[in-house]
Amino acid sequence: MTGAWTVRLVAVSELDYLEVIKRSAQDFGPLQAEAYAQTLATALDALRENGPMTIGVKAREEIGAGIFTLHAARSKRKASHFLVFRVLEEKTIEILRILHERMDLARHLSLDQ
C-alpha cells in the first residue's frame, strides 16, 4: 500500500536537511545537491511505503528506547547520512535528525525534541 505511513520532520531535522543540501551545493555544485536531495527523498519515501519494516532500518536502543536509523543510500544511490527516527502511534514516523554517518549519533540527538 503506497503512502501507508506518515513521515514528518521535526524542526531540527528540517534544519539538518537544509544544511545537508546547502553543504552539498557548496562542496559539489547545484546538480549534485539536487541529486542528493532526491536521494534523501527516496529514503523518506521508503519509510512512507514500509515504515519501520523498510529494508535497512536498525533499532538503535543504545541511542535511546524506540530510536531507529535508516541509512539514506537507496536504489544504488550513494549517501553519507542517516535518518534518525522514532515511531509514533497512528502509523507516524518522526524524523528526529539527519546526520552524517561519521557523527556520533547519540551525541547529536536530544530525545526531548
Set of cell numbers at residue 80: 553519507
Q: Provide the 3-class DSSP secondary structure of residue 107.
A: helix
pTM: 0.86
Tell me, what's the pLDDT at 77? 75
- Residue that has been written with the C-alpha cell 513521515 in this structure: 7
Domains located in the chain, CATH noted: 6-103 (3.30.2310.20)
Tell me, what's the pLDDT at 3? 57
Ranges of residues in the chain with a pLDDT under 50 are: 1, 113
Tell me, what's the pLDDT at 20? 95
Percent of the chain with pLDDT over 70: 88
Tell me, what's the pLDDT at 10? 95
10 Å Cβ neighbour count for 89? 5
Question: Which tens digit of pLDDT belongs to each residue from 19-31?
Answer: 999 999 999 999 9
How many angstroms separate the CA atoms of 13 and 55, rounded? Answer: 22
For the chain, the C-alpha Rg in angstroms (whole number) is 13
Mean pLDDT score of the chain: 88
Beta strand ranges found along 2-109 (DSSP E): 6-9, 58-59, 67-71, 81-88, 92-100
